[in-house]
Structure 1
């Protein structure tokens, strides 16, 4: 079954460069995304209580975006991406999360991201 691509936008009161550190570095990701994060080159290992997942950094652009691909989903076109968007007029900053989910897990996946981003906002103080 093919997965559905979705995007969620989260307004966040933080500078793009500060936000970038939270989703592109192991120490930043440990603050809100996983309990521990190890990186070896382009390979990132995310650890939670009793599970471990590996992802490859597909691409990064300083202060703008980082795209990861879970190693277990090698054969397909899925990825997850964090992208900073700044409104040209208001200068408001948003974090846009792109991810893929099975249709029957879509709402659950979105809720999971909302909880994670709430934690991120809490850490930033936004």
Structure 2
């Protein structure tokens, strides 16, 4: 958890397989651009040789478990291009993880910056401003 321990505002989660670093993700209690009480995870990266093996999901779950200790919701952002296979795969994966965002109708090839949120069920009574 870094020098600040579990209460540090921002930490970097690392995923190892044996001694090999295969991925990382960040989690932040208060990044400055989310509503009060809404944490954030980002900087999700997995070595291409280890993608589609559950590393990304494990990193997200670790980040979300940490954020759930203080946050009532979690926000992510990503660039989405309508019709792009990678964008569509990410969109489906984020929805599977419980993240919902704007459902803007786009033309093929149009790109937007999507902001998606997910409420933490353990803090469902927390209201976001």
Q: Assess same fold via TM > 0.5.
A: no
**Greater relative contact order (Cα < 8 A, sep 6+):** 1
Structure with the greater alpha carbon radius of gyration: 2
Higher strand share: 1
> Normalising by structure 2, what TM-score?
0.33
> Normalising by structure 1, what TM-score?
0.34
Higher helix share: 1
